[in-house]
Structure 1
């Protein structure tokens, strides 16, 4: 059963050559195979590939948790990236990219289309030679961070536009409008945080091949810097949400204040109308002008209440 080869390249002294079959003779010193893990032939090929058992299990495992392991000169990783659809380059779905790095063979697998694989393929077409597994790892993580960085810039622009709308007072955003941005920023933070931990553990692994150490150290710094940008967007979003909450609380307090003042002004008038509404004898102002007199008395009571509240300092200017 033939494996599900999406694309493959052999890197030779004269340039890169397309791989027609995974088991074809290798003309150069380095081969890169990108395989579809949903294909049963891929799983069968990996089970019999010349890779350490732990790495083969990592490539075939159903666990999508980000992690890495070192077995001799072979390094295996599971990294997260955003999946893509045929008509959408970036989606909100996170998929797993599984990687095996040896001195002569690079194997990457995925179950669903991954955005970083497209970026890597385009970059490989523009470079004549790939130096080795360290360069491949740098290229892969660079593709993931480029995608994440683009999403981060878009989210930062969305937050800035929302801040401008809030300051201008024209169609200010609501907390509901910011939920989507908050969810995507948190998703990016978790993705980068997990990836940074993976490479940090690799950096501290004494069995890590010397050829990969410098690249892993550089990737840790790059991921930390990018995660710092995501945290900054989170901070901006948090301040914006707090400002929106403060304004909503101020509007509520203002409405309650107006309602309280109206209640206080109408309370004496209500008392007057209640007294004159009692069916008892000897009611004052029981004449033809009694209704007008009672109305004047009610309004006078409201005015007196207003002046008293203002004198006591309850009326805001």
Structure 2
């Protein structure tokens, strides 16, 4: 069906085995030891009707289909609504253009929603595990598995930024391409951090929801929250390191330009008296000495050369050069 919001759906049993569902089977009820996972496209025309078939209220449906989201968690009615952001690994995408994943989790149902062409590898990898018979045994376990997989991708992105900064610190150059790459790294770290800070707070809020998680699940979520907090700190440090490197680049460029101007000033100082002599003897007035002498030109050039050598020696003695 063209433009359908339905992407994938599974009925998952307590032993981790899953069975794929067609769109026409979404209204089929689960057994007491089963739950349903439905993955939808939130900006498709029929997204609201599919969510209504799952008995999702209109308020929650509107929240899942919201065009813009920031990471946060809310406990509504009999379930939990959480917005997360994951690293964008789609072709020709910037990693800092983080993909929004909207999740509604209740006792026997978990709904995940994303926008068109905004796939998350974390969700795809989880789908592969589900189809291979290694599905999480409850909706809250599936939610925590998604949180972990998203954190793993974030870890990879933060490591890439760190390795790139280490490469710059070991061999920083003054070419325009490296300066642009360093600026891009700083922008990437700032953009990812912009979403990770509220995501850390959202996971912390989820941890505090009463009755939603069991004790071992709460400990696992706390560990993932601490991971996100560390990544936020790592990105803050990466930005500071990028600023230091940019300052070092600017200082090197300024030193290089200053040295060039200094050399030009010394050359100008050496040739200044010679320019004065050529100006004097180039005047077309009567009375200039040597105008009638055949050896006057040779004498003047020798004197000017000697003067240049004397000034050069004086500058070297003064350690100006």
TM-score (norm 1): 0.85
The reply on whether 1:80 has 2:85 as its aligned counterpart is yes
Question: In the alignment, which residue of structure 2 is the partner of 1:95?
Answer: 99
- The alignment of Structure 1 onto Structure 2 pairs a total of residues equal to 311
Larger RCO (CA under 8 A, 6+ residues apart): 2
Larger CA deviation: 142-151 vs 213-222: 213-222
Equivalent of 1:18, from 14, 17, 20?
A: 20
The 8 Å contact of residues 89 and 115 in structure 1, kept in 2 or not, is answered as no
1:273, CA displacement in angstroms? 0.5
How is 1:111-130 mapped onto 2 (pairs within 5 angstroms)? 111-112=115-116, 113-126=119-132, 128-130=134-136
Rounded to whole Å, the distance in 2 between the matches of 1:215 and 1:54 is 30
The 8 Å contact of residues 70 and 76 in structure 1, kept in 2 or not, is answered as yes
CA RMSD of aligned residues (A): 3.0
1:181, CA displacement in angstroms? 2.4
The reply on whether 1:184 has 2:174 as its aligned counterpart is no
Unaligned runs of 5+ in 1: none
Equivalent of 1:140, from 129, 140, 146?
A: 146
Question: In the alignment, which residue of structure 2 is the partner of 1:106?
Answer: 110
How is 1:1-317 mapped onto 2 (pairs within 5 angstroms)? 4-14=5-15, 15-20=17-22, 21-27=25-31, 28-47=33-52, 49-85=54-90, 93-112=97-116, 113-126=119-132, 128-166=134-172, 174-203=178-207, 209-211=212-214, 213-286=218-291, 287-315=293-321
Rounded to whole Å, the distance in 1 between the matches of 2:317 and 2:171 is 39
Unaligned runs of 5+ in 2: none
TM-score (norm 2): 0.84
| 1:236-257: CA deviation from partner (whole Å, max 9, x where unpaired) | 4333333322222221111111
Rounded to whole Å, the distance in 2 between the matches of 1:89 and 1:173 is 20
The 8 Å contact of residues 86 and 100 in structure 2, kept in 1 or not, is answered as yes
1:3, CA displacement in angstroms? 5.9
1:271, CA displacement in angstroms? 0.6
1:40, CA displacement in angstroms? 2.0
The 8 Å contact of residues 285 and 293 in structure 1, kept in 2 or not, is answered as no
SS class of match (1:174) = helix
Rounded to whole Å, the distance in 1 between the matches of 2:310 and 2:46 is 91
